[in-house]
Structure 1
Amino acid sequence: MPIPLFNSIASWLLKKRFHQIELFLKYPEEVQEEVLLQLLEFAEDTEVGRKYDFDSIERYTDFRERLPIVSYEEIESVIERTRKGEQNLFWPTKVKLFAKSSGTTNAKSKFIPVSGEALEDCHYKSSKDLLCLYLNNNENSQLFTGKSLRLGGSKELYEDNGSFFGDLSAILIDNMPMWAEYSSTPSNKVSLMSEWEFKLMAIIQESVTENVTSLAGVPSWMLVLLNKVLKETGKDSIFQVWENLEVYFHGGVSFNPYREQYEKLLPSTDFRYYEIYNASEGFFAIQDRNDADDLLLMLDYGIFYEFIPMDVYGKAMEQAIPLWEIELGKNYAIIITTNSGLWRYKIGDTVRFTSKSPYRIKVTGRTKHHINVFGEELIIENAEEALRMVCLETGAEIKDYTAGPIFMVEDEKGAHEWIIEFRTLPKDLDIFVEIFDRSLKSLNSDYEAKRYNNITLNSPKVHVARRDLFYDWLKANDKLGGQHKIPRLSNKRDYLEELLQMNR
């Protein structure tokens, strides 16, 4: 099919979808309740459906009272039975695909079920919606006159007892519809290569001669690729390689620490950045406006949402609430029920709502990725914003970082210990630490209280990481490329100790 014709047809089909999106924008509660009842009806004859008598559940309150909230560890045995061939345990259609996710808090792999319904009605539907929302906001876009450079997972799919598992991105690429493969680069063969460093060169070789109009991938790894592109081509700007590049679709980690570096690589006020929020368990939210810093929660992907306020999370009075009971500005842990058979599942992410009409969110961190050893409740959102503030004031640029606690010993007070790899060093590290500490106080009243007169916490301790420390750590742990992330904040010192050892 000629590219101009393909561009016209694709644009027309995607814009039609916007009318369906308007339905859940107008009737969010009704759409979410319908999603829940459809999931329950569809799975009523499964093992879990019979156990909790899905057939008799008629409303959300029945569902909340009857089904427990679960973590991966609590359903792992059922997932393992499905991986070994048993079916109809938690979902009625055959589940043969599993997204392998080690996360960053647990070395043991998780195998998240991915049903056919989730592939079509969640993951692929969201990809089309992302394009739909972008085109709706940018009517003069020429997105489909070229290709999207996708940076997916660096692991192949492995067969095991009739089921397949691998990175979610690898699963999506391996099963993607023809239209998506036609409009993407590199080829599936290169996208699924397992050796990250060889894969980088193969991507460059295949893609530099293409007319790339969009980028898609995790910011940290895409930055590595783009810098490698400039090095290999000898160009000063990515636009000298791909002159029609117009948008970068990103997700997986916060974009704030990388924004200035991208703006140097892509020096154009017309270039767009669009954020997404997805995970192995599903696709949840999409930036629906140009230059927005929050995301539209997508309500018709076969996912029913509940939320636990973080001030009661993990406590005896903990209780989940539905979407229509949330409050703006509060930090919530997300609980999901999905069309892959996850029922009231703790995904481990935290969000804050910025709007109720429509429902828009900001991802604030992970339930396990925070530091709260001393009652300071430091979350990733605080850390990212404080680092942005101090870099703006000092001219420093940060490549990667992690932090953990210095525990109290006898009369010694506690503190936070940071390892930061700089792309551009601050002129004076002591001043950097002072401004950073001040910024954290301005953003987090609990942290400020613990730091007041050094009552509980001493000033942060910051180590300057050697070049490529975090890259080498990921490589040593077989976590190069794809969706692998640096663990940002932890209540333990495991990552700190490993990295400090490698930093000598």
Structure 2
Amino acid sequence: MSLKSNASKVFARIIYKKVQAWSSKPVETQKKIFSELIKQASTTKFGIDHDFKSIKNFEDFAKRVPIRDYEALKPYIDRVINGEKDILWKGKPLYFAKTSGTTSGAKYIPLTKESLPYHIDAARNCIFLYIQETGNYDFVNGKMIFLQGSPILEEKNGIKIGRLSGIVAHYVPSYLQKNRMPSWETNCIDDWETKVDKIVEETYTEDMTVISGIPSWVQMYFEKLTQKGNIKVGEIFKNFTLFIYGGVNYEPYRAKFENLIGRKVDSIELFPASEGFFAYQDSQKAHGMLLLLNHGIFYEFIKADEFYNENPRRYTIGEVQMGINYVMIISTNAGLWGYNIGDTVEFTCIKPYRVIVTGRIKHFISAFGEHVIAKEVEHAIKKAMEDTNVSINEFTVAPQITPKEGLPYHEWFIEFQSEPEDLDAFALKIDSAMREQNMYYNDLIIGKVLQPLKITKVAKDGFHNYMKSIGKLGGQNKIARLGNDRTIADKLEKEVPHYENKTDFLDFN
């Protein structure tokens, strides 16, 4: 056993005990985090504006601090960007993580000296918990890769700006530097296709044991590897045993990945964001990810179906229940207060608290009152693929409210890797799975308000080319699974001059 392997086993045990200590006392842990946050920010501009010094408990906080999204918090963030101190958090942030925005363009999320270490610790701790549970530690001696954004940073008013993954790249522990791939120079390449080609070139002959990234972009890497060697990824990297991912649900990709790899490998799911590292999979046996209650974040939850009510109830960790779709609200040691990150979650366990990401509160289909969420469409397509040779590369769903003929329907844009023999039968399988999960959708089908869903096949690399056409190829960008309008669908149609009916292929070449 190598020195690194032996050290990893010892450290894994230490991390496990620390996690057990706080996860076994969830309510007390969150109360402590809440008190520390309020105390630390009481003299900031935001703290003064919201009378933090008089806040004694969560009820006081909820009365003084409304739920905000980025646009609502932007006046404070703009002051921080302009160089002012003590606005949302004491002093100035170390970084701004730049992300794609909505109505305000790019978003700038602060990272402080208090918040940044938790991003690093979470990414490390999930691996040690895996070692502790499985006893698999040999991979620490091999090479590891994370498909990430460029680490090149800008600077404004003394604050460095970049993509979160690029910022975190500056904090890779020294004991992993020799194992880390690709090279720094390759990581700095902006063009995603050029970057992946270079990564393939650098890693092809290496002993890769851990590979990490968003599934859709790792898939591109795997495909290029197999094209280069004309063999499975698992044959190229014989000691590849662990895939770490986040950003999207892995299940729709799992069959395709196992085919590309040639065998099954263990996986760890992460729930990271610029706003915080919220959860990670702490066990290969349990469903869901451990919510990180001691990482400088105070959590609130609002039932998704009540979110747009005038005064929805705000639940703390001790009040949540399993099986309910919640909008997650955070207050953090980076200066985000009552902040709606836009993600919805469901608790799969409360001892300890584990969650799955069910979608985005703005990404749903309810054009007819059905309120379909990402979890439902992902489960439906997974179920339809069971016991078949069908595999997919990507998909998205949109309502078709004004069809040329017949009733409205949900339109599924699917890029198949391996197509079903009977597309109509496959569509009915998906539709049946949707009706089993969502009673509103079922009622609309029964009541003949909607007709069963229809599938539009997307040509190979169609989604890849679509993302490239809107300037969001690679990095942390991902396709929205759902849209309550035709924004993505219309963009697809405009890119295909000869798009005529539901059996056409969408091709951007």
TM-score (norm 1): 0.94
Whether the 8 Å contact between 2:142 and 2:207 is mirrored in structure 1 is yes
Residue 269 of structure 2 aligns to a residue whose secondary structure is strand
How big is the shift at 1:107? 7.9
State the distance in 1 between where 2:215 and 2:33 align. Answer: 32
Q: What is the CA distance between 1:453 and its match in structure 2?
A: 4.1
Q: Which one of the candidate residues 27, 34, 37 is aligned to 1:39?
A: 37
How large is the RMSD of aligned CA atoms in angstroms?
A: 2.0
For 1:372 and 1:106, how far apart are their aligned partners in 2? 21
How far did residue 372 of structure 1 move? Answer: 0.7
Q: Once structures 1 and 2 are overlaid, which stretch shifts more, 418-427 or 394-403?
A: 394-403
1:329-478 equivalences under 5 Å are 329-392=323-386, 394-407=388-401, 413-454=407-448, 456-478=449-471
Q: Which residue of 2 aligns with 1:123?
A: 119
The alignment-based identity, stated in percent, is: 34
Contact kept? 1:96, 1:163, Cα under 8 Å: yes
- The answer for the alignment partner of 2:505 in structure 1 is none
Query: Corresponding residue for 1:495?
Result: 488
CA contact (8 A) 2:80 2:92 kept: no
For residues 154-208 of structure 1, what are the alpha-carbon distances to aligned partners after superposition, in whole Å with 9 as ceiling and x for unaligned?
Answer: 5742333433222211111134343343332112332232111111122122222
How far apart are the structure 1 equivalents of 2:219 and 2:113? 32
The question of whether the paired residues in 1 share the 8 Å contact of 2:344 and 2:361 is answered with yes
Whether the 8 Å contact between 2:151 and 2:167 is mirrored in structure 1 is no
TM alignment of 1:104-503, pairs within 5 A? 108-120=105-117, 122-154=118-150, 156-234=152-230, 236-269=231-264, 271-392=265-386, 394-407=388-401, 413-454=407-448, 456-503=449-496
The Cα shift of 1:373 comes to 1.2
User: Cα–Cα, structure 1 residues 233 and 353, in superposed 2: closer, same or farther, change >3 Å?
Assistant: same
Give the letter for the 1:253 counterpart.
V
Equivalenced residue count is: 497
Specify the code of the residue in structure 1 equivalent to 2:317. L
Post-superposition shift, 1:298?
A: 1.2
Equivalent pair of 1:272/1:291 in contact (CA under 8 Å): no
SS of the aligned residue for 1:117 comes to coil
Query: In structure 1, what is the Cα distance between the partners aligned to 2:432 and 2:18?
Result: 46
Task: Give the counterpart letter for 1:23 in structure 2.
Answer: A
C-alpha separation between the residues in 2 aligned to 1:383 and 1:429?
17
The offset of 1:67, in angstroms, is 1.1
- Give a deviation string over 1:188-233, Cα, whole Å, max 9, x none: 3322321111111221222223222111111110011011112123
- 8 Å CA contact 1:24–1:300 kept in 2: the answer is yes
Unmatched segments (≥5 aa) in structure 1: none
Moved more, 209-218 or 345-354: 209-218
- Counterparts of 2:404 and 2:266 in 1: how far apart (Å)? 53
Q: Name the CA distance, whole Å, in 2 between partners of 1:498 and 1:322.
A: 40
Task: Could you tell me which runs of 5 or more consecutive residues in structure 2 were left unpaired when the two chains were aligned.
Answer: 499-509
How much does 1:29 deviate? 0.4
The secondary structure found in structure 1 opposite 2:343 is strand
| Residues 425 and 107 (structure 1), Cα distance of their counterparts in 2 relative to 1, 3 Å cut | farther
Question: What SS does the corresponding residue of 1:321 show, helix, strand or coil?
Answer: coil
Q: TM-score, normalised by structure 2?
A: 0.93
Q: Answer yes or no: is the 8 Å Cα contact 1:154–1:481 preserved in 2.
A: no
Residue of structure 2 in register with 1:82 after alignment:
80
